[in-house]
Structure 1
Amino acid sequence: MKVRIEEIPKITRNFARPARTRVFKGGRGSGKTRGLALRSALRVYQLAEMGVEGVFLASREHLNSLDESSMEEIKASIRSQPWLADYFDIGEKYIRTQNRRISYAFAGLRHNLDSIKSKARIIGNWTDEAENVSEIAWRKLIPTLRDEGPGWYVENWVSYNPESPDSATNKRFITQKADDCLITDVNWSDNPWFPGVLNEQRLQDKRLRPETYDHVWEGAFLTLTDAQILAGKFEIEEFEPQPHWDGPYQGGDFGFSQDPTAAIRCWIGDGRLWIEYEAGRTALELDDYGTYIGERIPDFHRYTTRWDSARPEGISHIRRHGLPKSEAVEKWKGSVEDGIAFMRNFEKIVVHPRCEKTARECRLYSYKVDRLSGDVLTDIVDANNHYMDAIRYALGPMVKRGFNYGMLGVV
């Protein structure tokens, strides 16, 4: 029998290659849970037709009831394919093949795994919501997944939304990736059936909750902590500069091989700081600054732009190559801290949606955290700060003069 199954292309590509471990990670709306639920039914069908007997484990770290399991997702996936629905016997609290060779087992890895091992042969595992599975649980599970027979072996599937690089799941399957492990990042943009109602929520989160957008929708680690310098201070929104606003103010940060060159145009008005344009990339030659930035920030050459004073030779060069109003920003002891305080005193920092790199740095710009105590320190992490530095340089004269915030409309 031949049937055509429609599924997310990235899932198809992963299963097209042999592997003992398959990892699927990403954000909301990716369809990975429904996709793997269907794949589990296909795997069970395949093995049962080969005469294999045992249980396919659908697991999580803790499972107090079937309501917390993947059972309903698997049932829905089976019922979506009439030929699979005919092949399986689905009850209120069980799923098994009609020939009784294979059944699903739903278990918590910490407390239920031993009882399942003592009763049946585990012929496959899918752990959903695996971000918080502990190393102890993985150490209990992995040794049980070594069985194999003619033409098949036990596969371990892991799906989750990443949260921390320090999680046991990330360390075991990503940082310490084994040779027989295939990793697939799958997000909303990879889902051909991503529903419109979810897209409305996604766009709303991107505009109103940019601090967590990448984590929720793009599969990035969750970075919203007390260490975030601009947490709760910025939002993403389209705007047009108003006649009564002050500005524009422009700033730039030099970069080249590892760090990007970053340039910014911003405005001050109505108690807010408005980030209108950005331009930047790595490996940008000084000779090309004027052309490259000018193509991305209209009339950039017409306005004064303040650059990092640590590169006077660079400023001299770009003055002669298309950016004549470039000058060095004044620095002083504590200028970084003063600049951050100035930015945080605005009612809100509004980032235009086209400034994606700036928005990302707004999310990630952070203070250091003590490794042992978890205390937030006063030192700033030397990363995700290139566009932030450009903004500080643009605002440098006002920060230095200690502007009266009331004069700027800042409450």
Structure 2
Amino acid sequence: MSSKARIELPPKLIPVFSGPARYRGAHGGRGSGKTRSFALMTAVRAYMFAEAGVSGKILCGREYMNSLEDSSMEEVKQAILSVPWLDAYFDIGEKYIRTKNRRVSYAFAGLRHSLNSIKSKARILIAWVDEAEDVSETAWIKLRPTVREAGSEIWVTWNPEKDGSPTDKRFRKSPPVNSRIAELNYTDNPWFPPELDEERLNDRNLLDDQTYAWIWDGAYRENSEAQILSGKYRVAEFTPAADWDGPYFGIDWGFSQDPTAGVKCWIHDQRLYIEHEAGKVGLENDDIADFMIARLPGIESHAVRADSARPETISHVKSNGRDTRKCLPRIVGVEKWKGSVEDGIAHLRSYREIVIHPRCTKTLHEARTYSYKVDRLTGDVLTDIVDKNNHYIDASRYALAPLIKRRGAAIVQPLRM
């Protein structure tokens, strides 16, 4: 008679551990539960190997490990102890973890100084590298061939810090064939503790956004000169007042790969406030107006400015088959000119600051990542703009189109609407 054991994981990790893969991994910020989840799954897999009569080692590595106190041993122990049937299956000592039938045991090693000893470890079934952001390219090159048993796997968990680190390039920028990698942040952790949430809220109030995003949202730590809105935005809750200018609504079209994105924003005291956002990939023309009306309060009764590159979409959304309940009757395409994108960016940067409401998570992501190109050889920041991470930013430019002037033209103050 067979029985089933239950293991609880953050939902975003279920695809990571489903089906065959050579590489499994997760990257993200603090409080996501990725380290505990991967520690737990090493024990589950060790149980499965041992029950199947397979002998070998679960290798837990970090770039630096001077003693077991620097290793993942305690995480693995706590994960095993948290599940009664795993606790009953393992023999846990002060300096060892192994199945009671001794078929599978754990080994802990620092990759920087212990690679030669790792090569000699027999039958590595799984190599899990935690805190992998600082793992060198040399370590990855040497580790991978040592994990060579049939069906063996390499797991990696890390908090991104530098855009282009060896770990980031291998597992995030260009994930290897037969890999399952996910981003996991505190918002993806169903068991995110209230104590950590208090810390997160304190950091939101005390830290600059880039540092906060690195700690909690899995963003890169570096505040690069290439970031277009660097130093110009912050995150805060707000309620528009009666004397604010606006609201201003903008939409950027997308479909198969990019989202159709919309924003609602205001202007007050030389500050731009982005209050609401709405976006979806694969949004059909018939559904655009209804989708935006449900998420951008008041859009159906105000002027809406959109990308003029899709006049047929504008026409459809304006009438929507003459269904006046699901249309945006005041939508128009914006004027464009050579350099209009650059002039729009200059306008955005002309505000004292851009205040983004915390619920506008996609807009916030773009504010952090919208960038100029960087010369591959010299690292110099160029004047060309990277055409990505810009859908909600473009929607904001379109919303403010009447206020954006060609270079050299006078700046016009916003009109009350």
Give the alignment's TM-score, normalised by structure 1: 0.77
Question: Could you list the runs of 5+ residues in structure 1 that have no partner in the other structure?
Answer: none
Conservation of the 8 A alpha-carbon contact between 2:15 and 2:180: no
Choose which of 366, 374, 380 in structure 1 pairs with 2:379. 374
Higher mean alpha-carbon deviation, 275-284 vs 136-145, is at 275-284
Q: How many residues align?
A: 401
**1:270 — aligned with what?**
269
Choose which of 179, 188, 198 in structure 1 pairs with 2:186. 188
- Counterparts of 2:349 and 2:216, CA distance in 1: 27
**2:93 — aligned with what?**
90
Conservation of the 8 A alpha-carbon contact between 1:223 and 1:364: no
**2:78 — aligned with what?**
76
- Counterparts of 1:287 and 1:203, CA distance in 2: 40
Residue 58 of structure 1 deviates from its aligned partner by 1.5
- Counterparts of 2:261 and 2:52, CA distance in 1: 59
**1:8 — aligned with what?**
9
Aligned with 1:110: secondary structure?
A: helix
Q: 1:67 to 1:240 in 2, by over 3 A?
A: same
Q: Does 1:112 align with 2:114?
A: yes
- Counterparts of 1:327 and 1:40, CA distance in 2: 56
- Counterparts of 2:165 and 2:318, CA distance in 1: 49
**1:225 — aligned with what?**
224
Q: Does 1:298 align with 2:301?
A: no
- Counterparts of 1:67 and 1:139, CA distance in 2: 26
Q: Does 1:350 align with 2:387?
A: no
Of all paired residues, the percent bearing the same amino acid is 55
Letter in 2 for 1:304: A
Letter in 2 for 1:403: I
Give the alignment of 1:9-408 within 5 angstroms: 17=19, 19-44=21-46, 55-80=57-82, 84=87, 87-91=90-94, 93-95=95-97, 103-118=105-120, 122-147=124-149, 154-162=152-160, 166-169=164-167, 172=170, 175-179=174-178, 181-183=179-181, 186-202=184-200, 211=210, 216-217=215-216, 219=218, 224-282=223-281, 290-309=289-308, 322-400=327-405, 402-403=410-411
Higher mean alpha-carbon deviation, 295-304 vs 366-375, is at 295-304
Structure of larger gyration radius: 1
Give the alignment's TM-score, normalised by structure 2: 0.76
Letter in 1 for 2:109: A
Residue 209 of structure 1 deviates from its aligned partner by 5.6
Aligned with 2:404: secondary structure?
A: helix
Residue 59 of structure 1 deviates from its aligned partner by 0.8
Conservation of the 8 A alpha-carbon contact between 2:403 and 2:412: no
Residue 388 of structure 1 deviates from its aligned partner by 1.8
Q: 1:215 to 1:43 in 2, by over 3 A?
A: same
Higher mean alpha-carbon deviation, 51-60 vs 228-237, is at 51-60
Residue 357 of structure 1 deviates from its aligned partner by 3.2
Conservation of the 8 A alpha-carbon contact between 1:75 and 1:90: no
Q: 1:295 to 1:56 in 2, by over 3 A?
A: closer
Conservation of the 8 A alpha-carbon contact between 2:81 and 2:87: yes
Question: Could you list the runs of 5+ residues in structure 2 that have no partner in the other structure?
Answer: 321-326
Letter in 2 for 1:362: A
Conservation of the 8 A alpha-carbon contact between 2:118 and 2:146: no
Residue 367 of structure 1 deviates from its aligned partner by 1.2
Q: 1:367 to 1:169 in 2, by over 3 A?
A: same
Q: 1:2 to 1:341 in 2, by over 3 A?
A: same
Q: 1:38 to 1:255 in 2, by over 3 A?
A: closer
Conservation of the 8 A alpha-carbon contact between 1:8 and 1:190: no
Conservation of the 8 A alpha-carbon contact between 1:210 and 1:359: no
- Counterparts of 1:47 and 1:282, CA distance in 2: 41
Residue 52 of structure 1 deviates from its aligned partner by 6.5
- Counterparts of 1:49 and 1:285, CA distance in 2: 51
Q: 1:41 to 1:254 in 2, by over 3 A?
A: closer
Higher mean alpha-carbon deviation, 259-268 vs 236-245, is at 259-268
Letter in 2 for 1:156: I
Q: 1:397 to 1:25 in 2, by over 3 A?
A: closer
Letter in 2 for 1:382: D
Letter in 2 for 1:8: L
Q: 1:235 to 1:86 in 2, by over 3 A?
A: same
Conservation of the 8 A alpha-carbon contact between 2:115 and 2:139: no
Residue 382 of structure 1 deviates from its aligned partner by 1.6
- Counterparts of 2:15 and 2:250, CA distance in 1: 45
Residue 12 of structure 1 deviates from its aligned partner by 6.8
- Counterparts of 2:200 and 2:152, CA distance in 1: 37
Conservation of the 8 A alpha-carbon contact between 1:109 and 1:140: no
Residue 240 of structure 1 deviates from its aligned partner by 2.1
